[in-house]
Structure 1
């Protein structure tokens, strides 16, 4: 049963390499924002993050949503738009704000929008056992078309939506089985996600060992040209380093006495690191950059033996 919001966790989508096809599936835009459950109860709104943290104070502009229905629980994504496209980095400064005064100021300068894509409870009725088609029909009947919230469209053509989202710079596509019930807290194959991950060529400036090993790569520390002849740190890459790829990369790295980065490396990233000469270029896929400039969810694609570090000033995301 779907009880109070504190007892519920969002249903999660499983990664996929291709958009599912056929009439059993429906497709939505994958929004680059913050997943929340929004509960309206007795004229009050409570927003809870995917981790269960209460983030209501951070988004005061969404409070009027609670006046629409006496009891409602929505699943959705809070986004901030920049030039018509969701910007996670623009949203990041809002996500952890606890001060009501600061939140109000930020809401006035850069308001968020709630993209409500599911309804889990309405007027005391648990809807999680209902198929997606029934929940979606009810969601559309709620007429949630407000200044700071909306119900995004759904599409039958997943491949077409994937192409359009790539063209428009959106994050990707989420595909949902029409007859799927809502399974709180579970990563389900009935929901599948495919994100567009741009590729960036970076220089390796350090590495950290894999847990339990002194020699195998657990992560590399990446940088890009800072515009002044140095290297700006853009994050720790820990995915894609297994097997021969990681060992071959490790063999190419030359130890250095100090960090090659002109910008600060966070303590949690630098801990246990071996610095290297900025000589090796690799490609990483990622989901854009956060407010600090670090890459989001980077993963190693390939070692670029055809590129020198000096070439990177001419390259960007591909």
Structure 2
């Protein structure tokens, strides 16, 4: 059959002493049925355990278990997300057929624009795309999925990387021509009605470019041209009423930060290098300005960007391999997210009565599902709110209020508690986890829009959000 070199690198034995023989330790571990070691591969990294299991009457089997360390990424499925050879960067089908790799991220000097390889409707003009603009709740089956990003505990260094600020907005794919605009979220929802003020600048950009465009970017709330946090978009992302949207436009200005170009005219650019795609974007923005449309700044200096992150109190940085192709819907290590502060998505299980001048909500009571699918308490979150957010949160929580605590063990709260069905997911920033398993110095950032839309069927979503050990 067909063989793929899926990963390569080397391994080290965990807890090996200076005078220990690593090979002998591995042999002893095999004999005992339990080994602990670290992979240093292109894909697999960090500490693992290999454990032998034997069910009664069954042949012995080995389980490979990832330890919870800095290399652990609960959002990363190595088999599904990296289904290409680490050596040739070909898929199994390409290896079997002897084809050239279309997923390669290491080809240098790609300058020609390549014709569309995807389904034609994925790259259609906005005016020809089915069902766009009918409802913010209507999903578009033909939406092009954005390329996904890995989390990295360390910021990668080297000449092959460029760096940009990790923005805290709503990721959208923009389909644009001179007359039409569609802004499609990761779930395939058209958000054009929520952000109508972006249409003018995007249409002008298409006209200046001489044809249709597909752009990858992020809508971000801004103040004095500086990006703000996700919580400032909280009132915009679900609105259907045009008058309410107009009020939000005045209250919370936004801009669309563009960081990638996927289609220019009739030509797909997804197989071009990031460097080529970026150069084309820079040429467009060099000659023109477009209202409320901003080219995301990048830098080749990790040191400079790290300093800016600290001084500007940014969430973190995105590092991108300049030779990488655009892989729709695929999570690869060609794009990496490095966070300067800890953030976690946790589920709201209740709230407490307010004290003093605070109204409606004192603290949110948040938690997570553990390995046994038990809802564990993670602490009180009492900061990060303004009056508007408090009103919206209180209304949403009252609608799902219940009499009984949803937590596995009823927590001791700092005031009178109110319990809710664990449906809403909040993004929380914090300093660290305490030894007791609760958040230290947490602050509310917002309710995650795209995460919470599927939150009623928790199985896959919440079990990936376990507390680090």
Do both share a fold (TM > 0.5)? yes
Would you say the 8 A contact 2:381–2:443 is kept in 1? no
Would you say the 8 A contact 1:173–1:195 is kept in 2? yes
- Structure 1 pair 199/262, CA: closer, same or farther in 2 (3 Å)? farther
1:192 aligned onto 2:336: yes
Q: Flag structure 2 segments of 5+ consecutive residues without an equivalent.
A: 1-116, 125-141, 345-362, 384-389, 394-406, 425-435, 453-461
Q: Shift of residue 108 of structure 1?
A: 2.3
Q: Which residue does the alignment assign to 1:76?
A: 217
Q: TM-score, normalised by structure 2?
A: 0.49
Counterpart secondary structure, 1:156: coil
Q: Which residue does the alignment assign to 1:156?
A: 300
Would you say the 8 A contact 1:284–1:299 is kept in 2? no
1:49 aligned onto 2:185: yes
1:4 aligned onto 2:123: yes
- Structure 1 pair 286/38, CA: closer, same or farther in 2 (3 Å)? farther
**Among 420, 439, 445, which residue is 1:283 paired with?**
439
Q: Which residue does the alignment assign to 1:173?
A: 317
Provide the C-alpha distance between the structure 2 equivalents of 1:264 and 1:180, rounded to a whole number of angstroms.
49
Further displaced range: 217-226 or 254-263: 254-263
- Structure 1 pair 269/122, CA: closer, same or farther in 2 (3 Å)? closer
Q: Shift of residue 4 of structure 1?
A: 2.9
Q: Say how many residue pairs are matched.
A: 261
Provide the C-alpha distance between the structure 1 equivalents of 2:294 and 2:444, rounded to a whole number of angstroms.
25
Q: Shift of residue 9 of structure 1?
A: 0.5
Residue pairs, 1:62-211, within 5 angstroms: 62-64=198-200, 65-69=202-206, 70-82=211-223, 84-143=226-285, 145-198=289-342, 210=370
- Structure 1 pair 182/287, CA: closer, same or farther in 2 (3 Å)? farther
Q: Shift of residue 121 of structure 1?
A: 0.3
* CA deviation profile, 1:172-199 (whole Å, cap 9, x unmatched): 1000001000000011110000122258
Counterpart secondary structure, 1:13: strand
* CA deviation profile, 1:219-275 (whole Å, cap 9, x unmatched): 32421468xxxxx9xx9xxxxxxxxxxxxxxxxx995599765464432259xxxxx
Provide the C-alpha distance between the structure 1 equivalents of 2:378 and 2:422, rounded to a whole number of angstroms.
12
**Among 15, 32, 38, which residue is 2:151 paired with?**
15
For the pair shown, the structure with the greater C-alpha radius of gyration is: 2
- Structure 1 pair 198/16, CA: closer, same or farther in 2 (3 Å)? closer
Looking at both structures, which has the greater relative contact order when contacts are Cα pairs under 8 Å and sequence separation is at least 6?
A: 1
Residue pairs, 1:233-272, within 5 angstroms: 256=410, 262=416, 264-268=418-422
Q: Shift of residue 168 of structure 1?
A: 0.6
* CA deviation profile, 1:48-104 (whole Å, cap 9, x unmatched): 111211111000110111233141010001100246341211112111112222212
The RMSD of aligned alpha carbons is: 3.6
Q: TM-score, normalised by structure 1?
A: 0.70
Would you say the 8 A contact 1:145–1:151 is kept in 2? no
Provide the C-alpha distance between the structure 1 equivalents of 2:422 and 2:240, rounded to a whole number of angstroms.
24
